[in-house]
Chain A
Amino acid sequence: NAGVTQTPKFRVLKTGQSMTLLCAQDMNHEYMYWYRQDPGMGLRLIHYSVGEGTTAKGEVPDGYNVSRLKKQNFLLGLESAAPSQTSVYFCASSYSVQHTEAFFGQGTRLTVV
């Protein structure tokens, strides 16, 4: 099993450009999440999904959009990148929200210049 796979692993964007980060999981998990990690800030939840076709806002959703058209994929979009979105992005998935562990991807390091 591959677990949770994120693509790309690294990306440099210019301010105003757009991009999509892809997260794929092969564990048939219902729940998927996007977090960002900044130095000294821990992990902050951007958006999450509790099932195919559903999405919800997390703690820091502004400037991001998401889609969950297929159960195994969770896409994070930046429509107009800003330097404040320079961060490491982690996708995670879990069987349930309350009762089981989350599995994480290896992260995407995004730099916006």
Chain B
Amino acid sequence: SQQGEEDPQALSIQEGENATMNCSYKTSINNLQWYRQNSGRGLVHLILIRSNEREKHSGRLRVTLDTSKKSSSLLITASRAADTASYFCATASNSGNTPLVFGKGTRLSVIA
């Protein structure tokens, strides 16, 4: 079963606005990662946050992690039409060689 669940499933905003996507997960993690997928393409890694980190920034991206609530959020500031894509969270377990487990994704549409 999937570990991460993104919320909302779909989000539509105007260019220049901020977009916030949330991810909840169920078990202990080593890290949580966010990926982006343009329509019909492979996933591209955006950012990784470790379980002992609370916030991380990369350009216009800000990720927070709350391990007590088992949740993470991805904020994209000053969104652009080119940010239109699906965004997935993925969790890496603490145990053994368990591979990344992906959520179902949030479909972001940025309207110019």
Contacts and interface: CB of A to CB of B under 8 A. Distances in A.
A binds B: yes
Contacts of A40: 104
A28 B105 CA distance: 29
Contacts of B41: 106-107
B101 A45 contact: yes
Contacts of B45: 101-103
B59 interface: no
A90 B43 contact: yes
Name which of A45, A59, A98, A107 has the most chain B CB atoms within 10 A of its CB.
A98
Interface residues of B, number: 27
B99 A45 contact: yes
B44 interface: yes
A91 B30 CA distance: 22
Contacts of B31: 98-99
Nearest to A47: B99
A104 to B, nearest CB: 4
B24 interface: no
Interface string B78-112: 00000000001010111001111111110000000
Contact of B92 (A4, A48, A50, A97): A97
B2 A101 contact: no
B105 A42 contact: yes
Contacts of A98: 30-31, 92-94
B72 interface: no
B33 interface: yes
Given A98-B30, A98-B93, 4 more contacts: A42-B104, A43-B88, A99-B31, A106-B41
Interface of B: 1-2, 30-31, 33, 35, 40-45, 48, 88, 90, 92-94, 97-105
